[in-house]
Amino acid sequence: FDAFLRFKEHLERGVTSKADLASLDLEALSQIKESERSDAEDLLKQRVKASVEDPRVIDALVQIGTESAWTVIDEAANNAPPITRLRALRRLSAAGRRQDILGDVASIARNHDASMAAEEYLSALLDLASDEADDVMVDLLDKTTNRSVRTMVVTALFRRFDLDKYEEVATGPVWHLRMGLTAPFPSVRSQALDELRELIDKRRAGKTDKELGL
């Protein structure tokens, strides 16, 4: 009973900041008695149906793991607020329950130029690990007007193409590339973006770090 109350308290606290995204007590959920698990599942379903922005609910439903829970996750992937919808898409993809999520992820990303959403859709794009997902990130980098999002996309792309390990080399080519991609001047960013596209093309062609001058 205590575990159920603890879980319910965390759930009802809701999400008002980035820190809250990790606040749902999944450990308490795992300790809930079998007789109370249906009550916990009902609370989660109600929260999804209320269209509350709370991606924690998706992870809790995954942990419950019933077919009815997965049905609600599938509904959330179609109709929930953006961050919750992205989390649902990611979990469905990871579980092999939805094959092609790139179009949905890209659509949400292009319409939500904010850092909290960016963290979720960049994770989704990195999970996909495909040329098509990479191209979406490059396009987002080109189109975003949000400085925080721009920095986050650069970080994701550098991680994807194994460039992040060179960032500590002050004044090195990767350091210069980040400075260009995050510069306040559009003309500088545009030139750096062309350099990034060229580097990505060479990576895809199998060029080594040495051949890339890294």
Domain boundaries, the chain: 1-99, 131-214
Instruction: Give me the pLDDT at residue 14, please.
Output: 67
CA–CA separation, 213 and 174 (whole Å)? 10
CA–CA separation, 1 and 11 (whole Å)? 15
Task: Report residues of the chain scoring pLDDT below 70.
Answer: 1, 14, 16-25
∠173-115-137 over CA atoms, to 5°?
A: 50
Would you give the DSSP letter of residue 184? S
Residue 127's contacts (CB-CB under 8 Å, 6 or more residues apart) are 90, 93, 94
**What pLDDT, in 10s, does the model give residues 17-59?**
666 666 566 777 777 777 788 888 888 899 899 888 989 899 9
Residue 155, judged by CB atoms within 10 A of its CB (0-12, 13-18, 19+), counts as: middle
Instruction: Give me the pLDDT at residue 141, please.
Output: 97
pTM: 0.86
Instruction: Give me the pLDDT at residue 41, please.
Output: 86
∠133-139-144 over CA atoms, to 5°?
A: 125
Of the candidates 121, 45, 129, the residue with the CA atom closest to the CA atom of residue 83: 121
